[in-house]
C-alpha cells in the first residue's frame, strides 16, 4: 500500500467515524477487510456492491469469482447492538441478486429473500435495507437470489454485532468464513453446479499457503468467529490450546453450557465463536480436521497405490507412455515434490508450504496461529524459534524400509527424476543458518536471504 493510499484510508475512516471512541475491539478478517460506514442523521450507512472479482486463492492461482466491493468474502460489517443501520446494495453482476442478513433479527420485509420479501435487485439497481439491531453476535450476509450459484462463486460476508457493553475484554478477534469450491484443473472459474466433489477448501477464500497467519501476543484473550456457507460441515481444530465455544449465530452460549474442546464442528449455514487464552508461545496450526479439506486440488480419481511397488509396472508403462511416473507409493506426502514440478496452469499443488524444518505438506483450510511474547505489532513474525532443547530430535537412523526410495521422490521409468541426494544431508555438528523471516532454511554458511535480503541467523532449537 502506498503512503497516498494510507492517508486516503485514514481520511475515509475518520470521516466515517470509525476512529471515534469504540466500545469494542475491531474484528480482524484475515485476508479481508472491514466495511467503512458514514453516520447520516443517526443512521450508520454502509454500501455493498455485488460484482465479479478476482481472488488470489493462493500464490499461483487466481479465481474468477463473485463477491462484494472487489473481494470475496465481502468486507465485514461491524456495528453495535442498538444501532440503526442502512445498507445500500448495488448490483454490478450480470444477473439479479438480493442480500439476506443471516441470523439478524429484523422486520420481515428486510430479510432479503427475492420473490418472497422483496423484488430481485436487477443489474444496475441499488436497494436499501434498513433496520435496528436488537441482538449481538456473529451473523453473516449472502445472496438469496440464485443463491446456489452466487454463494459457490464466493458471495458471502460477516455481519458482526458487538454487545453494547463488552463483559470481558477480547484482545484479538478474528473472523473466518469457510467455503469450498470446484475449480476444474487449469480453470479460473469455479463450477457452481458441483454438489459433493469439491477440490478447493478455503478460509476467507484463501487456501494455504495463501492464508494469512493469526498473530497474537502471549497471554492475550483470543476470539475466532467461524462461519460456514459451504456444502459440508467443517470440524475446525486447534493445536496447543483448548477453547470454549461461546456463541453461535443464535447468540451467546451461557457459561454453564460451555465445555472445553479442541475441535469445533461448524455446521452448514451456521457460525461458531470460540475463545481461549494464548498462553503458550509457538506456531500452532489451525485447520479443518477432515483431512482432505486441508489439501488443495486433489484428484480423487487416483487409485490407491500406497504400499505398492510400482517400479516394475512403471518400466512397462513407461515404454508406451513417455513421461509416465508412478505416484503415491509411499503416501501422498511424496506428491508435494510432484506438485512443485508443475501441473496444469492456474492449479494449486495439493500440499505446499515450506516450514523451518522442511515441507509442511498441507493446503486448503489451514493457517498458523503465531503466539509471541516479543512482538510490538501484528505483522507476520516469521517462524517460531523454539528454545534450545524443546524440539523433537533424531536419536537413531535405521536402514530405509524395503521399497522406499532414498528421498521423497519416485522412480519413474522414462523420466530422469532429481535423486534424493540433491537435498544436502544435514550435518548436525555444524551451525546452520536460516532467514529470520523463515524464507531460507538450513544453509551451512552465513549470508543474506535471497528472498527478503535479511541477514541469516544461526538456527536454534533444531538440534539436541
Ligand atoms: Cu472441512
pLDDT tens digit string along 54-106? 999 998 889 999 999 999 999 999 999 999 999 999 999 999 999 999 999 99
Residue 94 pLDDT? 96
Q: Indicate whether 329 pLDDT > 80.
A: no
Cell of 17: 467515524
200 CA from centroid of ligand 1 (Å): 10
> Which of these, 406, 410, 401, lies nearest to 420 by C-alpha position?
406
Taking ligand 1, which is a single-atom ion, which protein residues have CB atoms under 5 Å away? 234, 288, 290, 293
> Which position has the higher pLDDT, 19 or 4?
4
72 CA from centroid of ligand 1 (Å): 18
Cell of 246: 461461546
Q: How far apart, in Å, are the Cα atoms of 423 and each of 110, 120, 201, 330, 331?
A: 61, 59, 31, 18, 20
365 CA from centroid of ligand 1 (Å): 7
35 CA from centroid of ligand 1 (Å): 27
H or E segment to which residue 100 belongs:
strand 99-102
323 CA from centroid of ligand 1 (Å): 34
266 CA from centroid of ligand 1 (Å): 9
Region class of 186: left (phi > 0), else alpha (psi between -120 and 50), else beta:
left
198 CA from centroid of ligand 1 (Å): 11
**What value, to the nearest 5°, has the Cα angle with vertex 407 and ends 404 and 408?**
85
293 CA from centroid of ligand 1 (Å): 5
Q: Indicate whether 232 pLDDT > 80.
A: yes
Kindly provide the residue ranges of all beta strands, DSSP E only, lying in 41-98, ordered along the sequence: 43-58, 61-68, 77-80, 84-91
How many Cβ atoms from other residues are within 10 Å of residue 314's Cβ?
A: 22
Cell of 173: 478477534
290 CA from centroid of ligand 1 (Å): 5
Condensed to tens digits (0 to 9), the pLDDT of residues 159-195 reads 999 999 888 889 999 999 999 999 888 888 998 888 8
Least confident of 4-13, 326-335, 368-377, 387-396: 4-13
252 CA from centroid of ligand 1 (Å): 24
235 CA from centroid of ligand 1 (Å): 6
What's the rounded Cα separation, in Å, for the pair 452 and 437?
8
What's the rounded Cα separation, in Å, for the pair 439 and 445?
15
Cell of 425: 544431508
Q: How far apart, in Å, are the Cα atoms of 108 and each of 100, 102, 180?
A: 11, 13, 30
Q: Indicate whether 246 pLDDT > 80.
A: yes
Condensed to tens digits (0 to 9), the pLDDT of residues 399-445 reads 777 655 444 443 333 333 434 444 444 444 567 777 766 655 567 77
204 CA from centroid of ligand 1 (Å): 13
Q: What percent of the chain has pLDDT over 90?
A: 58
336 CA from centroid of ligand 1 (Å): 20
How many Cβ atoms from other residues are within 10 Å of residue 303's Cβ?
A: 8
Beta bridge partners of 284: 369
294 CA from centroid of ligand 1 (Å): 7
7 CA from centroid of ligand 1 (Å): 39
Residue 422 pLDDT? 42
33 CA from centroid of ligand 1 (Å): 23
Q: Indicate whether 12 pLDDT > 50.
A: no
420 CA from centroid of ligand 1 (Å): 33
338 CA from centroid of ligand 1 (Å): 24
422 CA from centroid of ligand 1 (Å): 35
Residue 9 pLDDT? 46
Residue 446 pLDDT? 80
Q: Please, what is the average pLDDT of the chain?
A: 82
What's the rounded Cα separation, in Å, for the pair 182 and 291?
17
Q: Indicate whether 131 pLDDT > 60.
A: yes
Q: Indicate whether 43 pLDDT > 70.
A: yes
59 CA from centroid of ligand 1 (Å): 21
100 CA from centroid of ligand 1 (Å): 24
234 CA from centroid of ligand 1 (Å): 4
- The label of the residue with cell 509416465 reads 324
289 CA from centroid of ligand 1 (Å): 6
> Which of these, 345, 331, 235, lies nearest to 297 by C-alpha position?
345
> Which position has the higher pLDDT, 33 or 359?
33
User: Any alpha helices (H) in 297-413, and if so which ranges?
Assistant: 311-320, 335-340
> Which of these, 325, 323, 345, 324, lies nearest to 335 by C-alpha position?
325
Condensed to tens digits (0 to 9), the pLDDT of residues 254-307 reads 999 999 999 999 999 999 999 999 999 999 999 999 988 988 765 444 455 555
182 CA from centroid of ligand 1 (Å): 14
pTM listed for this prediction: 0.76
Q: How far apart, in Å, are the Cα atoms of 213 and each of 43, 159, 192?
A: 35, 22, 28
180 CA from centroid of ligand 1 (Å): 8
265 CA from centroid of ligand 1 (Å): 9
Q: Superfamily for 3-288?
A: Cupredoxins -  blue copper proteins (2.60.40.420)
Q: Indicate whether 3 pLDDT > 50.
A: no
288 CA from centroid of ligand 1 (Å): 5
Amino acid at each position: 500500500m502506498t503512503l497516498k493510499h494510507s492517508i486516503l484510508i485514514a481520511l475515509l475512516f475518520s470521516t466515517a467515524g470509525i476512529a471515534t471512541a469504540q466500545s469494542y475491539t475491531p474484528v480482524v478478517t484475515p485476508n479481508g477487510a472491514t466495511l467503512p460506514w458514514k453516520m447520516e442523521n443517526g443512521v450508520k450507512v454502509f454500501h455493498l456492491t455485488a460484482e465479479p472479482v478476482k481472488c488470489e486463492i493462493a500464490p499461483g492461482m487466481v479465481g474468477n469469482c463473485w463477491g462484494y466491493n472487489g473481494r470475496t468474502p465481502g468486507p465485514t460489517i461491524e456495528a453495535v447492538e442498538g444501532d440503526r443501520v442502512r445498507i445500500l446494495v448495488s448490483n454490478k453482476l450480470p444477473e439479479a441478486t438480493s442480500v439476506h442478513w443471516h441470523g439478524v433479527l429484523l422486520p420481515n420485509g428486510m430479510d432479503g429473500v427475492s420473490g418472497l420479501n422483496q423484488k430481485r435487485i436487477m443489474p444496475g439497481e441499488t436497494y436499501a435495507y434498513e433496520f435496528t439491531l436488537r441482538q449481538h453476535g456473529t451473523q453473516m450476509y449472502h445472496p438469496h437470489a440464485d443463491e446456489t450459484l452466487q454463494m459457490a462463486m464466493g458471495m458471502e460476508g460477516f455481519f458482526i454485532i458487538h454487545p453494547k457493553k463488552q463483559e470481558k475484554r477480547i484482545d484479538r478477534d478474528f473472523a473466518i468464513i469457510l467455503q469450498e469450491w470446484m475449480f476444474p484443473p487449469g480453470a479460473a472459474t469455479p463450477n457452481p453446479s458441483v454438489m459433493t466433489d469439491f477440490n478447493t477448501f478455503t478460509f476467507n477464500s484463501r487456501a494455504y499457503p495463501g492464508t494469512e497467519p493469526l498473530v497474537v501476543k502471549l497471554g492475550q484473550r483470543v476470539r475466532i468467529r467461524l462461519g460456514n456457507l459451504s456444502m459440508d460441515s467443517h470440524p475446525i481444530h486447534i493445536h496447543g490450546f483448548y477453547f470454549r465455544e461461546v456463541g453461535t449465530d443464535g447468540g451467546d452460549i451461557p457459561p454453564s453450557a460451555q465445555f472445553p474442546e479442541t475441535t469445533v464442528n461448524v455446521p452448514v449455514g451456521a457460525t461458531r465463536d470460540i475463545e481461549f487464552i494464548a498462553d503458550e508461545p509457538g506456531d500452532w496450526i489451525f485447520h479443518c480436521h477432515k483431512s482432505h479439506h486441508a489439501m488443495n486440488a486433489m484428484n480423487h480419481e487416483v487409485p490407491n497405490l500406497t504400499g505398492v511397488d510400482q517400479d516394475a509396472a512403471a518400466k512397462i508403462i513407461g515404454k508406451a507412455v513417455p513421461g509416465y511416473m508412478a505416484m503415491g507409493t509411499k503416501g501422498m506426502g511424496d506428491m508435494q515434490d510432484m506438485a512443485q514440478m508443475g501441473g496444469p496452469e492456474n492449479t494449486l499443488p495439493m500440499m505446499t508450504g515450506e516450514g523451518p524444518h522442511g515441507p509442511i505438506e498441507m493446503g486448503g483450510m489451514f493457517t498458523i496461529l503465531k503466539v509471541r511474547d516479543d512482538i510490538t505489532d501484528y505483522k507476520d513474525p516469521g517462524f517460531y524459534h523454539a528454545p534450545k532443547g524443546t524440539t523433537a530430535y533424531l536419536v537413531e537412523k535405521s536402514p530405509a524400509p524395503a521399497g522406499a526410495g532414498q528421498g521423497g521422490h519416485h522412480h519413474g521409468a522414462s523420466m530422469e527424476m532429481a535423486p534424493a541426494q540433491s537435498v544436502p544431508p544435514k550435518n548436525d555438528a555444524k551451525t546452520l543458518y536460516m532467514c529470520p523471516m523463515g524464507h531460507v532454511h538450513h544453509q551451512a554458511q552465513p549470508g543474506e536471504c535471497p528472498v527478503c535480503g535479511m541477514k541469516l541467523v544461526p538456527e536454534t532449537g533444531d538440534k539436541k
